[in-house]
């Protein structure tokens, strides 16, 4: 019987974590791109500022989630 979760045979939990990290990485890249566009603007509307705050909040949430994933 083959053991799961070893270095050579990652188990289902490891696969789920890897997939989640990929999703979060994509979200971070989207936020980085949006933030670059925000910084490139000379004037920011109220909606721009609000969206930027939401991006900052999402980055904090992602950081927290990644920390929890690493503890598992």
pLDDT of residue 10: 66
Domain membership flag for residue 5:
no
Domain membership flag for residue 16:
yes
H-helix segments, the chain: 12-40, 46-71
What is the arithmetic mean of pLDDT over 36-42?
A: 98
Domain membership flag for residue 40:
yes
Residue 13 near residue 21 (C-beta atoms within 8 A) = no
State how many domains the chain has. Answer: 1
Domain membership flag for residue 61:
yes
| Angle in degrees, 0-180, between the axes of helices 12-40 and 46-71, rounded to the nearest 10 | 160
Domain membership flag for residue 37:
yes
pLDDT at 1 over 50: no
Residue-number span of the structural domain to which 31 is assigned: 12-71
Domain membership flag for residue 44:
yes
This prediction's pTM: 0.77
> For the segment 2-32, what is each residue's pLDDT rounded down to a tens digit?
455 555 566 888 899 999 999 999 999 999 9
């Amino acid at each position: 019987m083959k053991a799961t979760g070893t270095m050579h045979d990652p188990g289902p939990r490891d696969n789920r974590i890897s997939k989640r990290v990929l999703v979060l990485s994509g979200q971070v890249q989207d936020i980085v791109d949006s933030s670059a566009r925000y910084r490139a603007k000379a004037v920011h509307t109220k909606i721009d500022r609000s969206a930027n705050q939401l991006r900052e909040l999402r980055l904090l949430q992602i950081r927290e989630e990644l920390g929890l994933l690493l503890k598992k």
